[in-house]
């Protein structure tokens, strides 16, 4: 051999090795016992015999600088035929001399995503899908990772069904871990781990983090683009909240945070009072008992992230509010002008005197930033804001007690916006807003 590169085992534990400089792949049959030093190869793929090494022919069975190899559960041999910009698939169990590939994955140059320099190929043991590290493909020829359907779904000149630009340069190997997560190495001397993506939202206004950052003392919600978080639904309805629920943890910059709700598709958690107030933080969802990573992403952080809970849980419309008599504010139960109404939200930022993470306050805890309330057609006087701070009933719940001015026009949908440190509770287009219901007396 000269420059052996890739190795793989067949289902029967026979060994295949790519031999770059000789433009071939060698097949070693497993003996009755174990392999022995100096054991000769039994068969050769890519060359007519053991003494040939040509790589300049256009014959379909000839290989040119083959690198990565893989074998699927049906004993098919996949070869990253780097020099010919393709993946050649052989029957690994054939006894034919100079076998011809049973399929060639070579995308025509005129297509949008032809292979350029495949360096590795890996067959998912879960789905049979074909992963290829195309070391010099894609924009700027910096490389990307391609995924193709399993063998029985391949068509002539197949196009990849998924293209992943790598975070580095020139990916050289690709594999999946035992949970189906992607791992690759690249020319930047790194190993790259990929996990299912996450959709993180502020739980009150339900903005995605592309629209609004999170902040300390915020109730947040996260969903997954990958497999389910859990096979069960669990709610922690006591305080202080636990940091493990349904064998699941949420880690913000490697620190577990309090959890309120875990289901297969959604997790609700509390951003601690000591969380960063700027920059990005790493968010990981893990299975506590095994350490399995269920999802990964980064979240932008800010000093405040105000949002008011609403009746329809979408961040607009009727605010979750309580009238001065303790009843729920609604169009059928409006608050009278001149009375106080309590509004509820989250996202108040770092608080002095805040309770332990995941617990409720034992008394009033005022917000650290100025609070203003826009109601109807203008701001209410500052002296009308009786309290802006943590509610005593729930973790991370922001309560604003405000007196309704006498000049507010009665309506079931009076526009209301709360600003914390100048940041409004919503940034909605015209026609979408948060409201309360007001009556004259």
Residue-averaged pLDDT of the chain: 92
Q: Could you give the C-alpha distances from 187 to 6, 145, 260, 388, in angstroms and in order?
A: 17, 13, 42, 53
Instruction: List CB contacts of 140: < 8 A, sequence separation 6 or more.
Output: none
Which has the closest alpha carbon to 350: 205, 200, 214? Answer: 214
Position 68 scores a pLDDT of: 97
Position 349 scores a pLDDT of: 95
Of these ranges, 102-116, 174-188, 328-342, the one predicted with the greatest mean pLDDT is: 328-342
Position 237 scores a pLDDT of: 81
Q: Could you say which DSSP state residue 407 is in?
A: T
Given a cut of 80, whether residue 156 has pLDDT beyond it is yes
Helix (H) or strand (E) run with residue 165 in it:
strand 162-165
Question: pLDDT by residue (tens digit) across 85-133?
Answer: 999 999 999 999 999 999 999 876 656 668 889 999 999 988 999 999 9
Mean pLDDT throughout 72-91? 96
What CATH class does 4-193 carry? mainly beta
Position 165 scores a pLDDT of: 86
Position 34 scores a pLDDT of: 93
Mean pLDDT throughout 411-435? 85
Measure the CA–CA gap between 24 and 26, rounded to whole angstroms: 7
pLDDT band at 138 (very low <50, low <70, confident <90, very high): confident
Exposure string over 6-22, b if 16+ CB within 10 A, otherwise e: bebebeeebbbbbbbeb
Measure the CA–CA gap between 213 and 211, rounded to whole angstroms: 7
Q: Quick one: how far is CA 366 from the chain centroid?
A: 35
Measure the CA–CA gap between 411 and 142, rounded to whole angstroms: 60
Question: pLDDT by residue (tens digit) across 242-296?
Answer: 999 999 999 999 999 999 999 999 999 999 999 999 999 999 999 999 989 999 9
Number of Cβ within 10 Å of residue 96's Cβ equals 9
Q: Which residue has the higher pLDDT, 313 or 59?
A: 59
Q: Lowest-pLDDT range, 136-140, 161-165, 338-342, 386-390? A: 136-140
Given a cut of 60, whether residue 389 has pLDDT beyond it is yes
Position 206 scores a pLDDT of: 80
Mean pLDDT throughout 349-374? 94
Mean pLDDT throughout 6-20? 97
Position 27 scores a pLDDT of: 98
Number of Cβ within 10 Å of residue 386's Cβ equals 11
Position 431 scores a pLDDT of: 52
Measure the CA–CA gap between 316 and 323, rounded to whole angstroms: 19
Residue 15 contacts residue 39 (beta carbons within 8 Å): no
Q: Lowest-pLDDT range, 12-26, 164-178, 399-413? A: 164-178
CATH 2.70.50 in the chain: give the residue spans.
Answer: 307-439
End-to-end CA distance of the chain: 94
Parallel, antiparallel, or unpaired: how do β-strands 118-123 and 130-134 relate? antiparallel
Given a cut of 90, whether residue 60 has pLDDT beyond it is yes
CATH 2.60.40 in the chain: give the residue spans.
Answer: 198-300
Domain 198-300 coded CATH 3.30.70: no
Q: Could you say which DSSP state residue 239 is in?
A: S
CATH hierarchy code of domain 307-439: 2.70.50
Mean pLDDT throughout 317-322? 95
Q: Percent of the chain beyond pLDDT 90?
A: 79
Q: Which residue has the higher pLDDT, 293 or 168?
A: 293
Mean pLDDT throughout 5-31? 97
pTM listed for this prediction: 0.80
Which has the closest alpha carbon to 432: 409, 418, 413? Answer: 413
What HEC string does 276-297 produce?
Answer: CCCCEEEEEEEECCCCCEEEEE
Give the dihedral sign, CA 46/51/53/57: negative
Burial category of 238 from C-beta neighbours within 10 Å (exposed 0-12, middle 13-18, buried 19 and up): exposed
């Amino acid at each position: 051999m000269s420059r052996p590169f890739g190795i793989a085992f067949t289902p029967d534990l026979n060994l295949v090795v790519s031999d770059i400089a000789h433009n071939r792949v060698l097949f070693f049959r497993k003996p009755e016992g174990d392999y022995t030093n100096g054991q000769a190869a039994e068969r050769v793929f890519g060359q007519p015999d053991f003494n040939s090494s040509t790589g300049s022919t256009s014959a379909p069975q000839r290989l040119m600088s083959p690198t990565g190899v893989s074998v699927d559960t049906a004993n098919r041999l996949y070869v990253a035929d780097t020099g010919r910009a393709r993946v050649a698939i052989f029957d690994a169990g054939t006894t034919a001399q100079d076998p011809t590939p049973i399929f060639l994955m070579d995308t025509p140059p005129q297509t949008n995503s032809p292979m350029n320099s495949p360096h590795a190929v890996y067959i998912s043991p879960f789905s049979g899908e074909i992963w290829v590290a195309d070391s010099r493909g894609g924009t700027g020829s910096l490389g990307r990772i391609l995924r193709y359907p399993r063998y029985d779904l391949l068509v002539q000149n197949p196009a990849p069904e998924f293209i992943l630009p790598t975070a580095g340069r020139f990916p050289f190997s690709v594999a999946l871990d035992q949970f189906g997560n992607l791992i690759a190495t690249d020319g930047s001397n790194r190993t790259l781990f990929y996990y299912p993506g996450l959709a993180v939202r502020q739980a009150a206004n339900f903005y995605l983090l592309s629209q609004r950052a999170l902040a300390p003392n915020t109730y947040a919600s996260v969903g997954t683009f990958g497999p389910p978080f859990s096979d069960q639904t669990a709610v922690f309805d006591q305080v202080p909240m636990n940091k493990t629920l349904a064998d699941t943890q949420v880690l913000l910059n490697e620190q577990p945070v309090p959890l309120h709700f875990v289901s297969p598709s959604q997790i609700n958690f509390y951003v601690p009072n000591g969380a960063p107030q700027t920059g990005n933080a790493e968010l990981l969802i893990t299975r506590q008992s095994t350490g399995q990573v269920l999802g990964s992403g980064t979240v932008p952080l800010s000093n405040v992230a105000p949002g008011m809970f609403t009746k329809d849980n979408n961040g607009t419309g009727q605010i979750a509010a309580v009238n001065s008599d303790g009843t729920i504010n609604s169009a059928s139960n409006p608050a009278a002008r001149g009375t106080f109404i309590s509004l509820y939200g989250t996202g108040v930022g770092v608080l002095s005197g805040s309770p332990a993470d995941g617990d409720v306050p034992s008394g009033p805890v005022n917000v650290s930033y100025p609070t203003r309330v826009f109601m109807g057609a203008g701001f209410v006087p500052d002296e009308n804001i009786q309290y802006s701070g943590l509610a005593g009933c729930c973790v991370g719940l922001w309560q604003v007690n405000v007196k309704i001015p006498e000049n507010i026009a009665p309506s079931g949908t009076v526009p209301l916006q709360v600003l914390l440190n100048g940041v409004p509770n919503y940034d909605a287009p015209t026609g979408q807003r948060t409201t309360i219901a007001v009556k004259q007396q």
